[in-house]
């Protein structure tokens, strides 16, 4: 299981990066109110459950044998996130066309970062699957 330590480290780094990007996207979506991001604060509740993914990956990195049983839960949470993104994209498609026409750079950043997280989540599901199969 030690030969998979770099893969487990990549999962930790990505999940921390994912949480930071998710908070950034929520702040961008909610927008500033005056000189502060106080308008984004209530929306951070959507990012709170995602704090568990870096913790899961970190504990898996530290003690893989002890936390190996939680890998299916990690994969299920990531799969749920992928399905939520697909449904969000389906519901937001008409609105995205309007937003891209109104504010192209911001909408392109928003959509690009969302697609990056989507594809990387699929990669983390595959990485966790490799850990399960090789352990």
pLDDT in tens, the chain (135 residues): 578 889 999 999 999 999 998 888 777 777 666 666 666 777 778 788 889 999 999 999 999 889 989 999 999 999 998 998 888 888 877 777 776 777 777 777 778 888 888 899 999 999 999 988 887
Degrees to nearest 5, angle at CA 84 with 82 and 90: 105
Is the pTM above the cut of 0.85? no
Burial of 62: CB neighbours in 10 Å, binned 0-12, 13-18, 19+: exposed
- Domain total in the chain: 1
**pLDDT for position 90:** 81
**pLDDT for position 122:** 94
Which structural domain range is residue 16 located in?
A: 2-134
What are the distances in angstroms from CA 109 to CA 54, 61, 62, 88, 128?
24, 31, 34, 16, 28
**pLDDT for position 36:** 64
């Amino acid at each position: 299981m030690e030969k998979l330590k770099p893969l487990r480290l990549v999962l930790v780094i990505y999940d921390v990066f994912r949480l930071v990007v998710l908070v950034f996207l929520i702040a961008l979506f909610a927008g500033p109110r005056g000189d502060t991001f106080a308008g984004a604060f209530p929306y951070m509740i959507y990012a709170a459950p995602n704090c568990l993914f870096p913790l899961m990956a970190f504990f898996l990195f530290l003690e893989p044998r002890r936390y190996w049983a939680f890998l299916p839960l990690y994969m299920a949470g990531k799969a749920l996130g992928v399905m939520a993104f697909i449904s969000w994209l389906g519901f937001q498609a008409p609105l995205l066309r309007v937003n891209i026409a109104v504010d192209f750079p911001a909408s392109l950043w928003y959509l690009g970062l969302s697609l990056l997280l989507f594809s990387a989540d699929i990669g983390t599901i595959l990485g966790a699957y490799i850990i399960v199969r090789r352990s």
